[in-house]
Amino acid sequence: MSTAMQSIIDAGTTLWLDSIDPDLVAKCPQQGITGATSNPLIVADLIKSGRFDDLLAAYMKQDMSDEQVAWATTNQMVTDAQEVFLPVWEQTNGNNGYVSFELDPVLEDAQLGPSHDERVARYIMLGRKWGVENGGKNRMIKVPATPAGLDALEDLAAMGLTLNVTLIFTERQYTAARDAIWRGAQKRGALDTFKSVYSIFVSRVDVYTQEHHPNLSDAAQGMVGLVNAKRIWAMNKGFWKSKNLPLKQELIFASTAVKKPDMAKDFYISQLTGSDIQTNPPSLNETINTLGKTYTNNIASLPAENVLDEIDQIVDMIQLENILMQEGLAKFADPQKALIKLIGEKREALLG
């Protein structure tokens, strides 16, 4: 493990990999990385590599549809990654060592998605299928903080699932997700295995403010994503402190790769070090190792009061959430549709 990665872990951060590439996952234990996340884009990239052609062909010969092959392949990839991280899960008594499995993003597609109530029902059904029936001990079911996703969380939590709520941009979304999951968790017979995480997207917030609030001062521009994430972190810490639960209910700091070429590549990483979970893409981990810095605990540090006041006065968080959710849902659903199309193209190539 590099000294840079070690310093992040020593400061109190848990590192997860934003990939389930088996070659990269195999190296994780030596790098101090103790979990992973998956999504359709990651699965598609792995399929394009050709390394899973035999698996695809085997599923196709079972008369599976392209969509069924996509899900079966995703399930196998996630299961394989879970095996690598299972020792971490066992050593931490279920506090770490998870791999996230994303429920069907096409449910949120503006054209293809069903009605709200049908989406809620589908999330619950898919949670049972991929979490209870096929999940294994250390699978985390990923659900978006959309209206339908939020309305499904209470039932999913009551079912006993470990949940990762994704596409969270604001305090409102976080609070709605947290409260729904807590209501569901209290319907369980016991809370000894209750675990939940909340994925806060960081850099996309600063892309938004750059475009929609160019009047922010130099001191405030580029800081809104961090301020938002750190405030939600403090809220989360405060809420769960009194519950005395055996397992941590944590934030995942996602979207931590910088979007502007003039920003330090580790800008968000360095400012969020000290608590909870960071999911880094492989390229960002390589950057951290190359920079060779020593990172310290910065999670509780905020900008000066006048900068916070400026952000609160200028940035409309309701508008921010609405716009980023519109953009986020397109990025959410489109990769799954592209994955299914890719499976069809593979079918032609592999079976003729």
Q: Is the pTM of this model over 0.85?
A: yes
Cβ-contact 235, 177 below 8 angstroms: no
Q: Which secondary-structure segment (H or E) carries 254?
A: strand 250-254
Where does residue 183 fall: left (phi above 0), alpha (psi -120 to 50 degrees), or beta otherwise? alpha
Bridge partner residues of 36 (DSSP): 17, 99
> Which residues lie closer than 8 Å to 31 by C-beta, 6 or more apart?
1, 2, 5, 15, 285
> Nearest 5°: CA angle at 300, between 297 and 305?
135
**Axis-axis angle for helices 203-212, 317-351 (nearest 10):** 120
Cα atoms found within 13 Å of the Cα of residue 62, Cβ hemisphere only: 11
- What single letter denotes the amino acid at residue 179? D
Domain residue ranges in the chain: 3-206+229-298+326-346
What is the token pair recorded at 180? 């729904």
Cβ-contact 66, 44 below 8 angstroms: no
What is the token pair recorded at 240? 């769960």
What is the token pair recorded at 132? 């209870």
Gyration radius of the chain's alpha carbons = 20
Class of the CATH domain delimited by 3-206+229-298+326-346: alpha beta
Our measurement of the distance from residue 185's CA atom to the centroid of its chain's CA atoms, rounded to an integer in Å, reads 20
Q: DSSP letters along 72-95, please?
A: HHHHHHHHHHHHHHHHHHHHTTTS
Query: What pLDDT was estimated at residue 175?
Result: 98
Cα atoms found within 13 Å of the Cα of residue 180, Cβ hemisphere only: 25
> Could you identify the residue written with the tokens 């605990």?
297
Task: Output the tens digit of pLDDT for each of the chain's 352 residues.
Answer: 789 999 999 999 999 999 999 999 999 999 999 999 999 999 999 999 999 999 999 999 999 999 999 999 999 999 999 999 999 999 999 999 999 999 999 999 878 778 999 999 999 999 999 999 999 999 999 999 999 999 999 999 999 999 999 999 999 999 999 999 999 999 998 999 999 999 999 999 999 999 999 999 999 999 999 999 999 999 999 999 999 999 999 999 998 988 888 889 999 999 999 989 999 999 999 999 999 899 999 999 999 999 999 999 999 999 999 999 999 888 888 999 999 999 999 999 998 7
Query: What pLDDT was estimated at residue 190?
Result: 93
Cβ-contact 146, 176 below 8 angstroms: no
Q: Which secondary-structure segment (H or E) carries 140?
A: strand 139-144
- What single letter denotes the amino acid at residue 185? A
Query: What pLDDT was estimated at residue 331?
Result: 83
Cβ-contact 273, 296 below 8 angstroms: yes
Q: Give the separation between CA 241 and CA 235, rounded to whole angstroms.
A: 10
Cβ-contact 306, 205 below 8 angstroms: no
Backbone angles phi, psi at 107, to 5 degrees: -60, -25
> Nearest 5°: CA angle at 282, between 279 and 283?
115
Residue in 296, 165, 302 with CA at minimum distance from that of residue 229: 302
State the average pLDDT for the chain: 95
Query: What pLDDT was estimated at residue 349?
Result: 92
- pLDDT, one tens digit per residue, over 60-90 is 999 999 999 999 999 999 999 999 999 999 9
DSSP-based three-state secondary structure for 71: helix
- What single letter denotes the amino acid at residue 121? A
Query: What pLDDT was estimated at residue 1?
Result: 79
- What single letter denotes the amino acid at residue 152? A
